């Protein structure tokens, strides 16, 4: 029961994260990542999730992480701005990239968690 509640709460988070991407300069791939992550959480809550979907999301999140990791490290080097409340600007692209990196990382962690509980078990 706790797993179901947590999965549905995570799905709500991912739906919200996807919905707020509408005004992003590159919304489609972020919406796809977040909405498919939400779908995976909903399916997992009802024990209907499938490994191929989880593998696809892991791949999508990995690509997004790879695309934004430099910006995240640039943000870490500055060390004095709150990533959540700082205003984005052309002079500070690391703000957007840092946020995107963390969003993809959250998706990856959640989906790996779902994969871990669903993965094939080796019988000895």
Residue 22's pLDDT is: 86
Tokens read off for 60: 């999508």
Q: Is 119 helix (H, G, I), strand (E, B) or coil?
A: coil
Rounded Cα–Cα distance for residues 35 and 20 (Å): 11
* Four-CA torsion 24, 28, 30, 32, nearest 10 degrees: 150
More confident residue, 56 or 77: 56
Give the model's confidence band at 24: pLDDT under 50 very low, under 70 low, under 90 confident, else very high. confident
- pTM of the full structure: 0.88
Helices then strands (H, E): number in the chain?
4, 0
Cα–Cα dist 116/112, whole Å: 6
């Amino acid at each position: 029961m706790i797993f179901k509640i947590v999965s549905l709460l995570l799905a709500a988070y991912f739906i919200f994260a996807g919905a707020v991407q509408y005004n992003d300069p590159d919304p489609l791939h972020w919406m796809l990542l977040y909405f498919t992550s939400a779908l995976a959480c909903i399916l997992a809550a009802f024990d209907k999730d499938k490994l191929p979907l989880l593998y696809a999301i892991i791949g999508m999140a990995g690509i997004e992480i790879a695309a934004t990791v430099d910006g995240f490290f640039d943000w870490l080097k500055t060390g004095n701005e709150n990533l959540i409340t700082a205003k984005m600007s052309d002079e500070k692209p690391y703000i957007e990239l840092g946020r995107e990196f963390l969003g993809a990382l959250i998706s990856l962690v959640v989906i790996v968690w779902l994969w871990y509980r669903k993965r094939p078990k080796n019988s000895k």
